[in-house]
Amino acid sequence: MPDIVAVLALDMLPMFEAAVATEVWGVDRSDAGVPPFEFRMCGMTADPVVTTSGFSIVPSHDIEGLRNADLVVVPGWHPAHDDPVPADISTAVNEAFDAGARIASFCAGVFVLAAAGLLDGRRATSHWMHADRLTLMYPEIAVDRDVLYVDEDPLFTSAGTAAAIDLCLHITRKDHGSVVANRIARRMVVPPHRDGGQAQFVESPVNAVDDDPIGVATTWALRRLQHDITVEDLARRAKLSPRTFARRFRAAAGTTPLQWLLVQRVREAQRLLESTALSVDEIASRCGLGTAANLRIHFARVVGTTPTSYRATFRRTA
């Protein structure tokens, strides 16, 4: 049975966010080894839904399409007015959640989850432009305005626009492994992974062009993850002092050099667990984490599970 993904298309549907979910889960990529998804674009009724771009789209399903969905995506909620989210929308989302669906929001879609009471006492994020309003309206929610997305499985929230891509790939990676997520990312011609904790505000994006010292250093590091790499090594590659390198790295990537490196090493371990039969010890060595014990610590922190159970879950899809 393919996963059923239902997008809740509300009036003033943001086209980009709706298209992100469509691109990730609504396109048949079985030729690339990506498992099929049953994709539903659900309006409250079967009537055309007005988008923020002025034109309308005709949903494939009405609200009944949320029934038995594995994942419900709320790509937006028009935040220009202070009208409360209508009760029938909250009810529909609540019923889907109670029936076992996981719920994900992009950008201002978080207001729909909040109005349904799903986020009380939980962490959540939204586009930085909406963070103040969200905090004001729903003080029970721990709003993290600085991250790309928040995973509070079975609830997910993202900053919207490009961060919606990151959240979709994160959920796909969680459910189907990094090989599948990377295949989708490759087809979409987007970077395979940005960590959820990465800052929404980056002064300049990480880039591998030759005249970007941070890009040069990170590209160099990714090619030799199996070797020892110190922040001083990275700084030397970037032709900067360690202090300046660290400062500019945080400005560019929204995280510290070591934390970035550890996440890259765990991603490499995920790839090796899925695509090889190497021992966990050997994988730890090949991804630069030294020992299996060390790999387990960082693997649990980044992925939320153990290398062995990760392999048991995803080896089949490789």
- Interface region with DNA, contact rule CB under 7 A, candidates 9-17, 174-182, 286-294, 302-310: 286-294
Nearer to DNA, 56 or 226 (CB): 226
- Please report whether residue 247 would count as binding DNA according to CB under 7 A: yes
- Interface region with DNA, contact rule CB under 7 A, candidates 140-148, 155-163, 204-212, 252-260: 252-260
- Please report whether residue 291 would count as binding DNA according to CB under 7 A: yes
Least Cβ distance, residue 225 to DNA (angstroms):
12
SS percent in the chain: helix, strand, coil, step 5: 50, 15, 40
- Please report whether residue 267 would count as binding DNA according to CB under 7 A: no
268-302 burial by CB neighbour count: b if 16+ within 10 A, else e?
A: bbbbbbbeeeeebeebbbbbbbeebeebbebbeeb
Task: Tell me the longest C-alpha to C-alpha distance in the chain.
Answer: 60
Least Cβ distance, residue 269 to DNA (angstroms):
12
Give, for 40, the enclosing helix (H) or strand (E): strand 37-43
Kindly tell me which residue out of 293, 308, 309, 312 binds DNA, with binding defined by CB under 7 A: 293
Q: Tokens 């899925």 sit at which residue?
A: 274
SS3 28: coil
Site for DNA in 53-112 (CB under 7 A): none
SS3 184: helix
Least Cβ distance, residue 245 to DNA (angstroms):
7
- Please report whether residue 224 would count as binding DNA according to CB under 7 A: no
| Exposed / middle / buried, residue 307 (Cβ in 10 Å: 0-12, 13-18, 19+) | buried
27-60 burial by CB neighbour count: b if 16+ within 10 A, else e?
A: eebeeeebeebbbbbbbbeeeebbbbeeeebebb
Nearer to DNA, 20 or 263 (CB): 263
- Please report whether residue 246 would count as binding DNA according to CB under 7 A: yes
- Please report whether residue 205 would count as binding DNA according to CB under 7 A: no
- Please report whether residue 262 would count as binding DNA according to CB under 7 A: yes
Cα distances (angstroms) measured from residue 221 to each of 213, 234, 268, 292: 12, 7, 12, 21
- Interface region with DNA, contact rule CB under 7 A, candidates 18-26, 219-227, 256-264, 268-276: 256-264
Tokens found for residue 298: 């960082």
Tokens found for residue 239: 């032709």
Kindly tell me which residue out of 181, 257, 263, 271 binds DNA, with binding defined by CB under 7 A: 257
- Please report whether residue 222 would count as binding DNA according to CB under 7 A: no
Least Cβ distance, residue 230 to DNA (angstroms):
3
Kindly tell me which residue out of 243, 281, 282, 308 binds DNA, with binding defined by CB under 7 A: 243
Q: Hey, what amino acid is at 94?
A: N
- Please report whether residue 256 would count as binding DNA according to CB under 7 A: yes
SS3 170: helix
Nearer to DNA, 17 or 195 (CB): 195
Kindly tell me which residue out of 248, 267, 271, 311 binds DNA, with binding defined by CB under 7 A: 248
Tell me how crowded residue 120 is: count the other CB atoms within 10 A of its CB.
Answer: 11
Specify whether the CB–CB gap between 101 and 82 falls below 8 A: no
- Please report whether residue 250 would count as binding DNA according to CB under 7 A: yes
Nearer to DNA, 186 or 243 (CB): 243
Least Cβ distance, residue 257 to DNA (angstroms):
4
Q: Interface with DNA by CB under 7 A: which residues?
A: 230-232, 240-244, 246-248, 250, 256-259, 262, 289-291, 293-294, 297-298
